[in-house]
Amino acid sequence: MSSFFKQRREFYIPKDSTKREYPEVGAVAYVSTTSKGQLEAMGFHGKAQKPDFNYLFKTPEQMEATITKWVDGLKSRAAYMVQRKVERKARVPGRDGYLTVSETAVFVRDILKESYPGVKFSVRSDSYAGGASIDILWTDGPTTKQVDDVVGFLQSAYFDGMIDYKGSRYHKLDGKPMHLGADYIHTRRDYTDELTQRCLDRVWEYWAWQGEPQKPTVEDWNQGRTWGIVTKGGSPGINTFQHYMNLECSKRTQIAKPMDSLTRKRFQFAGDDGYGEGTFGKLAD
């Protein structure tokens, strides 16, 4: 049986190497001579287990130049990170007509708090290559559709799978054009055992379950075992107890309608780029 094995820093460091420390950038370098008489050097920054570089050199001058260039690069990066931190603290969200994904997430939290007071939402933002998104998670409370209806319009992108196209959606904040940093907003609702049991009782009672001798439990549904309970003449994967449970839970809400959100009223949807399927272009002012 194969297993994942992660090499540690000590694996790369020659036994007879000389350690050089660069505390100003939190880095160390190791210099040694191979059995063939060649100069070897490697460097690590922070807690990295793999070396930033690991080279052989013909002359001491080449080695020193490489190490100096590496340390200077780490210093430049450290200075850049400090400057970025200062800029983020000094930044006024929206002043430049743009909200980052994390700044957009702050507004999403406020809208949810005002719309569904008493419901605890987890709102997390994530940036990745090619875009950014916000993930919302909560338990019981409003349905997924109810939450989507409140914050879904803040998505700044749409995707047309027919032509493999990612398009743009436009917004205004306080009447001024504003680009929002979240391409997509994903919502996921979890259920307590109490709510799940009420849904289970309803589905079981409604279907009288097709002659099934034993009523499933909440644990059966959580573990997906009710996919195997199929209605008479039904199709596996579609006409199953699990399927009807999903439908019942998804529409069962504990909140009739959202409260008015003053934060939400500050935003207006201003249309889209009009290119993908079902789009309509920018809205008139």
User: Where are the domains positioned within the chain?
Assistant: 9-90, 99-190+266-272, 193-251
Name the β-bridge partners of 176.
173
What pLDDT score does 159 carry?
95
Beta bridge partners of 267: 173
- Residue 181: per-residue pLDDT: 96
Mean pLDDT by 10 residues, the chain (285 residues): 65 94 96 94 95 95 97 95 83 85 96 96 95 97 96 96 94 95 97 93 76 81 83 70 88 93 96 91 84
The pLDDT value recorded for residue 260 is 96
pLDDT at 211: 64
pLDDT value, residue 234: 65
pLDDT at 241: 83
Sheet containing strand 39-45, edge to edge, reads: 18-22, 27-33, 39-45, 53-57
Task: Burial-class residue 154 by CB neighbours within 10 Å (0-12, 13-18, 19+).
Answer: buried
pLDDT computed for residue 91 by the predictor:
72
Stated as kind and residue range, the H or E segment containing 128 is: strand 122-128
**Which residue reads 């507004």 in tokens?**
107
pLDDT of 174 reads 94
Q: Are 181 and 97 in contact (CB under 8 A)?
A: no
Instruction: Output the pTM of the full model.
Output: 0.68
Structure tokens at 197: 């049991």
Tokens standing for residue 13:
């460091």
CATH number of 99-190+266-272: 3.30.300
Whole-number pLDDT of residue 175:
93
